[in-house]
Amino acid sequence: MIAIIGGSGADEIIEMADSIEKQTVDTEYGSVEVTLMSIGDKTVAFLPRHSEGHSVPPHKINFKANIMALKNIGVTQIIATNAVGSLDLDIGPGSFVIIDDFLDFTVNRERTFFDDKVVHMDMSEPLCNRLRNVILSHGDCVSGGLVDGGTTVCTEGPRFETPAEIKFFKMIGGTVVGMTSLPELVLAREAEMCYASISIVTNYGTSISPDILSMEEVYEVMEVKKQELVKLLLETIDDLGDDECTCQHALGED
């Protein structure tokens, strides 16, 4: 099964489903509300990352419960959407970046399923390239196309970054900065699920543009881009099969 973990904007996809069914999934880390959508001949799980009504801030998201809930209902591939700020003047607000790497600057999150077992996950291909390539092949859904590759810097939040932080993140190779991709994508790999992110640029990082950064700016860009995002998700879902992938054997135990 395919799942969408949606940040702001992506929940519009629920309107496009032929039918929906809400389900509460209990896990050892907590309970999670998931909406099962029928889209064409597929069942797709939708999980709002910040819970219903966008009520949970990034640093309080129960990432372990979210990923385990999807695993428990049989999800094998996850398409995430993340709002991000850009560190690159050439990648402006409204751009969609299909990231291929990350820098983890979170400081206070439950980051692994392996607290009682020594497991060192390989991260030489941090995002699923098979899934990334299917998304990238539908770039014509988005005006301006998709940016193929980029490094997301994940901060703890909930505050935005300082000018010095943005300068530093840019210097060490970051392309975009957000608060929600980690540890989500690592937990998905630990749970042997394919994971790719559509990172939507809602603003330039602090001090890259002279304007003061506000939440309104972030929501305004998402509002304008959400139709394109839904189209990209629907075309990608339509194209995705039940493909076997190395991500689904990441622990090397089967």
Residues that bind ligand HPA (CB under 6 A): 83-85, 155, 160-161, 177-179, 202-203, 205, 213, 218
All residues at 6 or more sequence positions from 222 whose CB lies less than 8 Å from its CB, including other chains: 8, 9, 83, 200, 202
Q: In this structure, what are the phi and psi dihedrals at residue 88, rounded to the nearest 5 degrees?
A: -125, 120
Nearer to ligand HPA, 48 or 190 (CB): 48
Interior CA angle at 178 toward 58 and 74, to 5°? 65
Nearer to ligand HPA, 113 or 204 (CB): 204
d(CA 174, CA 170) in angstroms, rounded, equals 5
Q: Tokens in use for 54? A: 């966008």
Residue nearest to ligand HPA (CB): 85
Handedness of CA 11, 246, 98, 209 (dihedral sign): positive
Q: What minimum distance in Å lies between the beta carbon of 168 and ligand HPA?
A: 14
Q: What minimum distance in Å lies between the beta carbon of 247 and ligand HPA?
A: 26
Q: What minimum distance in Å lies between the beta carbon of 202 and ligand HPA?
A: 5
Q: What minimum distance in Å lies between the beta carbon of 107 and ligand HPA?
A: 15
Nearer to ligand HPA, 35 or 203 (CB): 203
Nearer to ligand HPA, 125 or 220 (CB): 220
All residues at 6 or more sequence positions from 211 whose CB lies less than 8 Å from its CB, including other chains: 217
Q: What minimum distance in Å lies between the beta carbon of 31 and ligand HPA?
A: 27
Torsion of CA 239, 245, 248, 254, to 10 degrees: 140
Nearer to ligand HPA, 183 or 240 (CB): 183
